[in-house]
Amino acid sequence: MKKFTDELRQKATQIWAAELEHPFVRGIADGSLPKEKFKFYLCQDYLFLLDYSRVFAYGVIKAQDEATMAKFSLLLHETLNTEMDLHRGYCDRFGITPAEMEGTPIAPTTHAYTRHLLHVAQVGTLTDLVAGVLPCQWGYWEIGTALAKRGTSPEPLYQEWIKMYSSDEFGALGEWLRELLNDLTAESTDAEKRRLTNHFLTSSRYEYLFWEMAYNQEDWAI
């Protein structure tokens, strides 16, 4: 029997394929991405991860059992510590101080994407929340795995990024979210699934736009 997450992934095929072929992602793989663009990405991703962590905190609040609460607590911990440590290490090598990173102005797409996720987490159910965050957790693992299969990036800093997001540990967190969403939607109505699909596809589109934002070093027009 086809799982709901399989249906979601199929509907997002075009978006996810475009992400993998985006010049920012390709530049990570072949080492050609200008460092200034990656630096911009790191600072914006730092701001994104702060709100992404808040979304996981809502997961702890909205979970209905201790095991699910504990898992969202782990996701919160992994995001605030493991991923943040990577960012701090990167930023240190780029000469970015913690104060500079924390004082980075939020770009329009980062603002819009995080507002979307927080809105879904605040007003929706746990199921809505999972559908909203899944494209990031799952998508990064798909990208990391695909780039790892292409070979080693000639840029060591980019290779570290690929190694982290293609790791079994990171992939396991996305797998847990997929299994949770499938369990939560076992008896969902068609109307509920349409709403969840909209969350998933909206987040998928924002994932693409995040690469676009970083590549163009997006700023407010006025």
- Which CATH number is 212's domain given? 1.20.910.10
46 in a structural domain: yes
194 in a structural domain: yes
Residue 8 confidence (pLDDT):
98
**List of residues 6+ apart from 29 with CB closer than 8 A:** 147, 150, 153, 158, 162
Q: Hey, which of 46-55, 84-93, 107-116 has the most confident mean pLDDT? A: 107-116
**From CA 30, how far away is CA 104, in angstroms rounded?**
28
Per-residue pLDDT of 27-83, as tens digits, reads: 999 999 999 999 999 999 999 999 999 999 999 999 999 999 999 998 898 888 877
Residue 94 confidence (pLDDT):
77
199 in a structural domain: yes
**Average pLDDT estimate for 121-144:** 97
Residue 80 confidence (pLDDT):
86
State the catalytic residues: 136, 207
Q: What is the mean pLDDT of the chain?
A: 94
pTM of structure: 0.95
Domain count of the chain?
1
Flag the least confident range among 65-79, 106-120, 193-207. 65-79
Terminus-to-terminus CA distance in the chain, angstroms? Answer: 51
Dihedral sign (CA 94, 98, 103, 106): positive
**Average pLDDT estimate for 129-152:** 96
Residue 101 confidence (pLDDT):
85
Per-residue pLDDT of 206-216, as tens digits, reads: 999 999 999 99
Helix (H) or strand (E) holding 209: helix 190-216
* Residue 12 reports pLDDT greater than 80: yes
Residue 98 confidence (pLDDT):
82
Residue 83 confidence (pLDDT):
75
2 in a structural domain: no
pLDDT band of 108, cuts 50, 70, 90: very high
6 in a structural domain: no
Structure tokens at 134: 């899944």
CA 106-76-91 angle, to 5 degrees, is 45
Structure tokens at 198: 């909209």
Residue 100 confidence (pLDDT):
85
pLDDT band of 147, cuts 50, 70, 90: very high
Residue 111 confidence (pLDDT):
98
221 in a structural domain: no
| Residue-number span of the structural domain to which 74 is assigned | 14-216
* Residue 84 reports pLDDT greater than 90: no
Residue 189 confidence (pLDDT):
95
